[in-house]
Amino acid sequence: MEQKKQIEVVAAVICEAGRVFATQRGYGEWKDWWEFPGGKMEAGETPEEALRREICEELATEIEVGPLLTTVDYDYPKFHLTMHCFRCRLASGRPTLLEHEAARWLDRTELSTVCWLPADKVAIENMDHDGFWSPIP
């Protein structure tokens, strides 16, 4: 039997003042679903380099990449996804939507008000604990 396609992505959980940045996909099979910005790592890149590049391409801004928060493995019908989610913060400038159709800053009470991609729902369950939301210096 043919092996299912494996996709590995890095995702930026950009945090600021008790809120996280969520983006709505603007194209493709999962158009209109919400996600953390990011994408596939290219050969030779570290996860941090890939994230900084993707955020520059998608949001025209610089981020600082912090610790790995969670890695989610999720079986989509057409591929198997491994997604590494990193805590990030904006380093300079505000995000500009170059590829996404919308974005929102969500606080803890608003997290489930958007329709997250299935893998992201798992990531959020893993991350949504008090430690995640307590302020970091």
Ligand X SMILES: Nc1nc2c([nH]c(=O)n2[C@H]2C[C@H](O)[C@@H](COP(=O)(O)OP(=O)(O)OP(=O)(O)O)O2)c(=O)[nH]1
Residues in contact with ligand X by the rule CB under 6 A: 7, 9, 11, 28, 30, 35-36, 38-40, 81, 83, 117, 119-120
Least separation in angstroms between CB 104 and ligand X: 14
Q: Is residue 7 a contact partner of residue 40, using CB atoms and an 8 Å limit? A: yes
The β-bridge partners of 88 are 14, 65
Q: Which residues does 103 contact at the CB level (< 8 Å), separation at least 6?
A: 21, 22, 23, 24, 95, 97
Residue nearer to ligand X on the CB measure, 77 or 135: 77
- Rounded Cα gap, residues 42 and 20, in angstroms: 25
Nearer of residues 24 and 120 to ligand X, judged by Cβ: 120
The C-alpha atoms of residue 48 and residue 64 are separated, in whole angstroms, by 9
Q: Do 113 and 87 meet the contact criterion of CB atoms below 8 Å apart?
A: no
Smallest distance, ligand X to C-beta of residue 137, A: 27
In the complex, minimum distance from the CB of residue 78 to ligand X, in angstroms, rounded to a whole number: 8
Q: Say how far apart CA 135 and CA 137 lie, in whole Å.
A: 7
Instruction: Closer to ligand X by CB, 132 or 135: give it.
Output: 132
- In the complex, the smallest distance separating the C-beta of residue 95 from ligand X, rounded to whole angstroms, is 14
Nearer to ligand X, 7 or 114 (CB): 7
